[in-house]
Amino acid sequence: MSGRRKLVIGNWKMNGTRASGTEIDAIASGLAVRAEQQGRGDGVQAAICPPATLIATLSARLAAQPGPDVLALGGQTCHPNASGAHTGDISSDMLRDAGAAWVIVGHSERRADHKETDAQIRAQAEAALRAGLSPIICVGETEAERDAGRALEVVGAQLAGSTPDEAVAATTVIAYEPVWAIGTGRTPTEDEIATMHGSIRDRLRQRFGDEADKLRLLYGGSVKPANAEAIFSLTDVDGGLIGGASLKATDFLAIVDAAAKAE
Ligand code: PGA
């Protein structure tokens, strides 16, 4: 037993409209049934990060559901500043105001499409913490970097550069997502995942001491109901960041069930 509560986060990316509210209802009611069966409290923790346009409406929808809060919401990126002249950007404070509790920062699609650097990602994570959001800081190597034998080094550098000094287990999560595994149906071997997560944990220990043993490390990249339990059972894997499979309530709930079994 790691003592770390399993966490499953769905990343909807640029998918979803208000009609997706029915999917959120299905996820929330499925989680509520599971929470009732398990008794309150320490089951798997779950969140969905929809497009920012949906956070307020989905938040209101979840608040209207009877029963305990079983599903949190998050953003997919945030600007380092709280407000100002940054056309098209969204701040952590705004995400929080809309009903988010989490925010993904440094996803490889942001690093690639928007040329986000480690320093910018760290500033985003710091802004999230200031706003009272929990950042999910993403790191991961490309296929060329893995083939060159540089995966551990690349991820180590991203981790060092993107993680704020203020990171503590209660508020910060790290997600390892190899770029070549995202949306491809390919995953690293269990050994490769275990080695990477072990290395991330070691680096966090060097920087944060004992706190590192409480920090949750997620794996992301082609997690599906069929492979989730094996991945989540690995030492130092505390849950998953789920893209494609989070868009369907049945798949997302099956992955939450896999996390519960891997507990
Ligand atoms: P995937 O995406 O599950 O569709 O591979 C994961 C992610 O990008 O967070």
Spacing, Cα 5 to ligand 1 middle (Å): 21
Q: Whose CA is nearest to atom 2 of ligand 1?
A: 243
- Quick: pLDDT tens for 145-156: 999 999 999 999
What's the average model confidence in pLDDT over 182-196?
Answer: 97
Is the pLDDT assigned to residue 39 strictly greater than 80? no
Residue 2 pLDDT? 82
- For the chain, the average pLDDT equals 96
What's the average model confidence in pLDDT over 164-184?
Answer: 97
What's the average model confidence in pLDDT over 188-199?
Answer: 98
What's the average model confidence in pLDDT over 98-119?
Answer: 98
What's the average model confidence in pLDDT over 212-226?
Answer: 98
What's the average model confidence in pLDDT over 120-148?
Answer: 98
75 neighbors 95 (Cβ within 8 angstroms)? yes
Residue 243 pLDDT? 98
What's the average model confidence in pLDDT over 175-193?
Answer: 97
Spacing, Cα 66 to ligand 1 middle (Å): 30
Residues with CB under 6 A from ligand 1: 11, 177, 182-183, 220-223, 241-245
Q: Indicate which residues carry an active-site annotation.
A: 107, 177
What's the average model confidence in pLDDT over 47-55?
Answer: 98
- Quick: pLDDT tens for 71-84: 999 999 999 999 99
Residue 42 pLDDT? 65
Per-residue b or e along 7-21, where b marks 16 or more CB atoms closer than 10 Å to that residue's CB: bbbbbbbeebeeebb
What's the average model confidence in pLDDT over 213-237?
Answer: 98
Per-residue b or e along 62-99, where b marks 16 or more CB atoms closer than 10 Å to that residue's CB: beeeeeeebbbbbbbbbbbeeeeeeeeebbbbbbbebb
Spacing, Cα 229 to ligand 1 middle (Å): 16
Residue 75 pLDDT? 98
What's the average model confidence in pLDDT over 98-102?
Answer: 98
Q: Probe ligand 1: pick from 8, 222, 224, 252, max atoms within 8 Å of CB?
A: 222
Is the pLDDT assigned to residue 41 strictly greater than 60? no
Is the pLDDT assigned to residue 1 strictly greater than 70? no
Say if strands 134-139 and 216-220 run parallel, antiparallel, or are unpaired.
unpaired
Per-residue b or e along 188-219, where b marks 16 or more CB atoms closer than 10 Å to that residue's CB: beeeebbbbbbbbbebbeeebeeebeebbbbb
Specify the higher pLDDT residue, 159 or 35: 159
Residue 253 pLDDT? 98
SS3 category, 244: helix
- Assign 126 a pLDDT band (cuts: 50, 70, 90): very high
Question: Considering the entire predicted model, what is its pTM?
Answer: 0.97
Spacing, Cα 128 to ligand 1 middle (Å): 22
Nearest atom of ligand 1 to the alpha carbon of 182: 5
Residue 161 pLDDT? 98
